[in-house]
Amino acid sequence: MNLRSLRRGRRSVSARRVGDHRRALVLLGWVAAAVVALNTALAGLPADAAARVAVPVLTAVALALWLAGLARTVTNVWLLTGCLAAGGLCGAVLDLLHPSGPGFILAYMAMAAIGLRLPRPVALPTGALVVVAAAWAESRTSTNAAGAALNLGIGAGFLFVASAFAAVNRDAHAQAQALLAEEAAARAAREQAAVLAERGRLARELHDVLAHTLSGLAVQLEGARLLAEKTGAGALLVTQIRTAQRLARDGMVSAKGAVATLRGDALPGIDHLPDLVTQARLATGTAAHLVVSGEPRALPPESGLAVYRTVQEALTNTAKHAGPDAGVTVTLTWAPDDVTVEIVDTGGAPATDLPPGGFGLTGLAERAELAGGHLDAGPTVDGWRVHLVMPTRAPQENQR
């Protein structure tokens, strides 16, 4: 979590709020357009031939400008100002041409939109222009000029002020939501930093204690092997010491891998299985093979790590417990929603219980469950079988 992600979270919250607001405006615009159309139909058209053409045209133009001013795609302040001011002035002209028509409604609509959508420094002069023009037109077509102009000015002014307050409340709410999102992101970043710090501490402890201990053990075992060979000890003892040396070296490699994982280095995954099987074959002499069927694809990091650790543990146990002539087959079967991993060794004596080693089958089963998978293991007629099923999507994605 960093500053870029904080800004991204704040922008996403603001964008959602703005999107909801604009959708409401568009709905309001269509409702107002329907009201204007109904008023035009009920009021009829003037007797003058030119006015009969001009009134529908101006009404359509005013509505188009009004809807353009509410459109989500129109964000330029000056374009918005032009659309809404022109729509209000069309209403004033319509009031002159057809006093009983929708001119005053269009003026009210323009004033409400100006207060709601334009910034205050631009909204005030634009609103003043529209209300003066509409009040003047209303006074020219009424027997009570002053009263008509005053009534229109009060009504339009009320709509403007109410819309402006609504805009202020909207902006304040959006800002509060953005601040809450930023605070939540900052809290998550602090928690993540604490987790990383603790993981770093554990990595240092693991490196200093376990890795150094295993290194010392490997050195002591080498000395024991040389001493055994020098004193003429039996071949079986020398072989056991060599096996212990190899296990110590494998433990150091595993410890280094655990340290790298705690430090956040790249995790081994399913792409590393061919190398893992090859290394097991070369290091232990076990006849290890990898078989893949289906269409491979990327797994979530935790799922890929669970597969890798399971195969690693199974190969280690085969080398330790299945005997020198054992063979092991690792089979990956890809399905649309999951991947099945099966590790079967043959050639050794069947076991009723397998001593824990490496990462441990219990820990691997827990790791698989955390990633949304399932692991089971048990003896076969002539060996041991480990069966793992992992989803190809993260558990959060499967819940959507």
* Global pTM exceeds 0.85: no
pLDDT of residue 351: 42
End-to-end CA distance of the chain: 24
**How far, rounded to the nearest angstrom, does the alpha carbon of residue 256 sit from its chain's CA centroid?**
32
3-state secondary structure of 346: strand
Strands 338-346 and 327-334: antiparallel
pLDDT digit string, tens, across residues 210-238:
767 777 787 888 888 888 888 878 888 88
Rounded to the nearest 5 degrees, what angle is found at the Cα of 172, between the Cα atoms of 166 and 175? 140
Question: 218 CB contacts (<8 Å, ≥6 apart)?
Answer: 245, 248, 249, 252
Phi, psi of 375 (to 5 degrees): -130, 135
108-120: b (≥16 Cβ within 10 Å) or e: bbbbbbbbbbbee
Work out the burial of residue 216: count CB atoms within 10 Å of its CB; fewer than 13 is exposed, 13-18 middle, 19 or more buried: exposed
pLDDT of residue 2: 43
Residue with tokens 């020098």: 230
Work out the burial of residue 360: count CB atoms within 10 Å of its CB; fewer than 13 is exposed, 13-18 middle, 19 or more buried: middle
Separation of alpha carbons 303 and 257, rounded Å: 17
Residue of 60, 50, 132 whose CA lies nearest to 92: 132
Task: Find out whether 40 and 101 touch, Cβ atoms under 8 Å.
Answer: yes
Range list of H helices, the chain: 3-43, 49-70, 77-97, 103-117, 120-140, 145-206, 212-230, 235-262, 273-284, 301-321, 361-370, 395-398
Separation of alpha carbons 323 and 284, rounded Å: 11
Choices 3.30.450.20, 3.30.565.10, 1.20.1630.10, 2.120.10.70: CATH for 270-391: 3.30.565.10
Task: Find out whether 55 and 44 touch, Cβ atoms under 8 Å.
Answer: no
3-state secondary structure of 143: coil
Element of type H or E holding 378: strand 374-379
Task: Find out whether 392 and 297 touch, Cβ atoms under 8 Å.
Answer: yes
**How far, rounded to the nearest angstrom, does the alpha carbon of residue 172 sit from its chain's CA centroid?**
26
**Regions in the chain scoring below 70 on pLDDT:** 1-47, 49, 208, 211, 257, 261, 263-266, 322-324, 347-359, 394-400
Angle (deg, nearest 10), helices 235-262 and 145-206:
160
Residue with tokens 């909801």: 20
Separation of alpha carbons 66 and 88, rounded Å: 9
Provide the residue type at 281 as one letter.
R
Task: Find out whether 163 and 143 touch, Cβ atoms under 8 Å.
Answer: no
Separation of alpha carbons 221 and 99, rounded Å: 107
Hey, which residues does 387 pair with through a beta bridge? 342, 376
* Residue 235, token pair as written in the block: 């071949």
Task: Find out whether 52 and 46 touch, Cβ atoms under 8 Å.
Answer: yes
Domain with CATH 3.30.565.10 in the chain: 270-391
3-state secondary structure of 307: helix
Query: What's the Rg (C-alpha) of the chain?
Result: 39
